[in-house]
Structure 1
Amino acid sequence: MDSSLYVLVEDLRRADAAQILSHGVSSITIGAAYHRARDVTPHGRTRVTFRYDGIHFPPGDLFDGLRLRPPVQRDADQEPIRSLREETRALGVALHGWGVFLHNTTLGLAFPDVTQENCFGDRAAPADLCPSNPDVRAYAVALGRAMARQGVDSVVAESLHFGTFGHGYHHERSFVELGPAAEFALGLCFCPHCVACIPHAEEARAEASRLTTTVLDGGPPTKDLPHVLTAYAQARAPIVTSLTAEVAEAVSAEGSRLTFVDLTGAVLGYADGRPAGAPAAASAWRIGVDPTALASVVPSYAILCYAHDTMRVAEDVAAYRKALGSEPVLRAVLRPGHPDTTSADHLAAKVTAARKNGADTVDYYAYGLTPLPVLARIPHLEHPLPGGRASV
């Protein structure tokens, strides 16, 4: 059974492919296109690493004539993705290219009109590019094609959907207790492109404004979403599904395949590994994701099982497997350490739960962010390659 470890390019400076694979996995998922972040990197070249928006490879001609062009990382001319591709090919293992598509602060600040617009008309989430915007859609298709041209076995697409209010920038403050309903309402997009293709948009905008204004004026927060906002959010799913289909087709044309990353599990459990409520699949509509519809357009689907409780991992995987059907390939992504996992036995139990409930493979996030003793918790696959590395 395939198993992959997520790695960021900056973290390769002190590790080669063989070192990464020695942690019990059979492939590598490399961050070919990433976003701004400040990370604690316990075994990195520096102990705190600042990352930038952009691609780690030359853009080529695919973005010529497009309004949006990806920022290019400083190491792109060294072609670290191709170098890693040569290493993994020599070892006989797969390399997956991981890209963050519609979460890009640099592009959002340069072109505010392509970002999500809230119910008050504010373009206040510069990191969130709107998937209904034609310029954004053309950019996403070109990015998928460009990543596939790096020779990766698959393109792993993160943030190929709508963003949320809670993660629209990287230095966010609110001294108002918004509550779940107002926070959700503030994250909905009402840009002209969304309003033009989603039914009852103006009614939804008015309700989002009313609900949020009540809380901002000192009223009590609430968890209950008005039906019009639920319906508006659910009606965005075809936008995400059609965009994903376009990207998947472009990737396929370049000889690779697309893995769609559903971030719902991270939205629910990122901070503490304690997601509450129904399984994550039941909340995917909040970011414009319909797993059942997407199952017909992508060959591979990744879910983030950011949960401490083994039973929650089992429930999340089972719910997605039911929604997706027998296809596509279902990849469950686990965090082997804080805040989700306390020991090797704990991680092994979650791996077993994921596989028994329908995951075709279990992947791990992320090499550079995790102490080496914690990476040692990853169960080694049953059929290792010569030298102790796991097989594809």
Structure 2
Amino acid sequence: MSYRAILSYAWDLAEHGVGNSVSAFTEMGLDTVSMAGTYHAGKFLRPQGKSGKVYFPEDGTAYFRHDDTRYGAIKPAPNSILTETDVLTQLCDDGRMNINVWLVLMHNTRLGMQHPDAVVRNAFGDPYFYNLCPSAPAARDYAIGLARDVTERYPISGISLEAPGFTPYAHGYHHETSFVRQDPMFEGLMGLCFCTHCVTAATARGIEAEGLKAEVAARIASFLDSDVDIPEDMGRAFWMAEIATNSDLRAYLDFRAEQVTSLVAEIRDRVRADCDVAVIPSVARPTGGAWYEGTDLRAVAEITGIIEACFYEPSAARIAADLFDLKHRVPDDTRIRGILRPSYPDIENKAEFLAAVDILVKGGVTDLAFYNFGHQRRKNLEWIGDALARVPQ
């Protein structure tokens, strides 16, 4: 099935009208709408907003009508838009485009605050409320429930799984404050989860998780007690050295990947067989860095067959490099989708954007998606039609 998609939010589709939006999308040569089915908080500038130019979505809510019986302790929080309209039903009923639902799974502050026993915790036991832990049974049940629920209640063609794993420490949070210079070594250690669920499961696999937890806490405390600032390049080298020489850390990182891989496998097993399941592997750049979040690119590609990579880079050359690396990390028969942002902060001119599309097509990537309907100026959206005209049918 062809995948020429526009990523969209329910609030933008509702404001512009689903029918009007679909008409505009089809004129651009698109055949798929990928609507966010669950999403986090944000502050979004909307160049074409009709009721305002800045939008604050409700944190951690679902944009489809859910069935509580498909969930355990953690259930979706319905977005208030559902009291007025069901945009996903309207999209499906329109019938002119394929409908994909993009699900943000573990990155959910609202639900993390409600279920602190199911969130990531660092080596000191501090909770990261923005990240449900993929080792926590309740969090896993929630993620599986979302995927089952939306694919059984709506006649959609597929789902895209974002944030199935461990969100990096430096991903960002409201008014995040630090007066210590943070480097890759610090961020790597601070982002490790040592919650009870992770430690118990890792210990059962023969990993010295408690010892590693104490070692990581001591290393971080030593840095915070020091007067040393570590430059970015040195911190990256120190982090690489730690991974290369600390066998307990390497085993723990492998364990994290096993947790995420098994979750993706359960989701693929539980949703409709005729429904595509793609994995958006990372919030970081480049795509190869997804390993830190627990995304084993080869393993999840073998399960789902589809990797939907965010080629969020400022040049066609960098996109070429990212694709080159990604193709070496997944099986040859993997279907790679590419998500592009045709504007600042990525590719800011049309010629470079078209060159990036040409590079992806030459590399065998003809399934393309564009982020995001509500965030782009009209001129940038127009580039999409020109780009798709260069993609073979």
Within 5 Å, which residues of 2 pair with 1:372-383? 372-378=378-384, 379-382=386-389
**Structure 2 match to 1:137:** 140
Partner of 2:120, secondary structure, is coil
Partner of 1:120, secondary structure, is coil
Is structure 2 residue 313 aligned with structure 1 residue 267? Answer: no
**Structure 1 match to 2:9:** 8
**Structure 2 match to 1:365:** 371
Quote the Cα distance in structure 2 between the aligned partners of 1:233 and 1:344.
40
**Structure 2 match to 1:244:** 264
Quote the Cα distance in structure 1 between the aligned partners of 2:81 and 2:201.
40
Q: Which moved more, 1:187-196 or 1:53-62?
A: 53-62
Quote the Cα distance in structure 1 between the aligned partners of 2:27 and 2:212.
52
Q: Which moved more, 1:229-238 or 1:315-324?
A: 229-238
Quote the Cα distance in structure 1 between the aligned partners of 2:314 and 2:147.
33
- After TM superposition, give the deviation of residue 284 of structure 1 in Å: 2.0
Maintained 8 Å contact 1:252/1:258? no
What amino acid sits opposite 1:205 in the alignment?
Answer: K
Quote the Cα distance in structure 1 between the aligned partners of 2:312 and 2:250.
25
Aligned residues: 367
- After TM superposition, give the deviation of residue 35 of structure 1 in Å: 1.2
- After TM superposition, give the deviation of residue 230 of structure 1 in Å: 4.4
From 92, 98, 112, the counterpart of 2:116: 112
Within 5 Å, which residues of 2 pair with 1:349-360? 349-360=355-366
What CA deviation, in whole Å up to 9, does each residue of 1:199-238 have, x standing for no partner?
2222322232123212212333333122333442233111
What CA deviation, in whole Å up to 9, does each residue of 1:102-156 have, x standing for no partner?
1111100111111101011111x21100001100111111000112122210011
**Structure 2 match to 1:324:** 330
Quote the Cα distance in structure 2 between the aligned partners of 1:168 and 1:242.
27
Partner of 1:116, secondary structure, is strand
- After TM superposition, give the deviation of residue 376 of structure 1 in Å: 1.3
Higher share of residues assigned helix: 2
Quote the Cα distance in structure 1 between the aligned partners of 2:180 and 2:158.
43
Maintained 8 Å contact 1:302/1:333? yes
**Structure 1 match to 2:255:** 235
Shift in CA distance, 168/117, structure 1 to aligned 2, threshold 3 Å: farther
What amino acid sits opposite 1:370 in the alignment?
Answer: Q
What amino acid sits opposite 1:241 in the alignment?
Answer: T
Quote the Cα distance in structure 1 between the aligned partners of 2:118 and 2:351.
46
Maintained 8 Å contact 1:182/1:208? no
What amino acid sits opposite 1:203 in the alignment?
Answer: G
- After TM superposition, give the deviation of residue 343 of structure 1 in Å: 1.4
Quote the Cα distance in structure 2 between the aligned partners of 1:126 and 1:331.
31
**Structure 2 match to 1:387:** none
Quote the Cα distance in structure 2 between the aligned partners of 1:267 and 1:154.
24
Partner of 1:95, secondary structure, is strand
Is structure 2 residue 108 aligned with structure 1 residue 101? Answer: no
Maintained 8 Å contact 2:354/2:387? no
From 342, 353, 375, the counterpart of 2:348: 342
What CA deviation, in whole Å up to 9, does each residue of 1:316-366 have, x standing for no partner?
112222221223311011110001112111111111112222324121111
Maintained 8 Å contact 1:164/1:187? yes
What amino acid sits opposite 1:243 in the alignment?
Answer: L
Structure 1 runs (4+) greater than 4 angstroms displaced: none
Quote the Cα distance in structure 1 between the aligned partners of 2:180 and 2:194.
23
Quote the Cα distance in structure 2 between the aligned partners of 1:391 and 1:137.
39
Quote the Cα distance in structure 1 between the aligned partners of 2:380 and 2:175.
29
Shift in CA distance, 211/309, structure 1 to aligned 2, threshold 3 Å: farther
Partner of 2:56, secondary structure, is strand
Within 5 Å, which residues of 2 pair with 1:1-392? 2-12=3-13, 13-15=15-17, 16-45=21-50, 46-52=52-58, 53-63=60-70, 66-77=72-83, 78-87=85-94, 89=95, 91=96, 93-123=97-127, 125-149=128-152, 150-167=154-171, 169-198=173-202, 199-217=207-225, 218-221=227-230, 222-223=235-236, 224-225=238-239, 226-227=242-243, 228=246, 229-253=249-273, 255-263=274-282, 266-268=283-285, 280-281=287-288, 283-378=289-384, 379-382=386-389
Quote the Cα distance in structure 1 between the aligned partners of 2:316 and 2:44.
27
Shift in CA distance, 260/219, structure 1 to aligned 2, threshold 3 Å: same
Percent of aligned pairs with the same amino acid: 28
Shift in CA distance, 102/209, structure 1 to aligned 2, threshold 3 Å: same
- After TM superposition, give the deviation of residue 391 of structure 1 in Å: 10
Partner of 1:190, secondary structure, is coil
Partner of 1:96, secondary structure, is strand
Partner of 1:376, secondary structure, is helix
What amino acid sits opposite 2:98 in the alignment?
Answer: A
Quote the Cα distance in structure 2 between the aligned partners of 1:138 and 1:84.
27
- After TM superposition, give the deviation of residue 380 of structure 1 in Å: 4.6
Maintained 8 Å contact 1:259/1:301? yes
Partner of 1:128, secondary structure, is strand
Maintained 8 Å contact 1:102/1:160? yes
Quote the Cα distance in structure 2 between the aligned partners of 1:51 and 1:23.
27
Quote the Cα distance in structure 1 between the aligned partners of 2:255 and 2:351.
42
Quote the Cα distance in structure 2 between the aligned partners of 1:134 and 1:213.
30
Maintained 8 Å contact 1:2/1:391? no
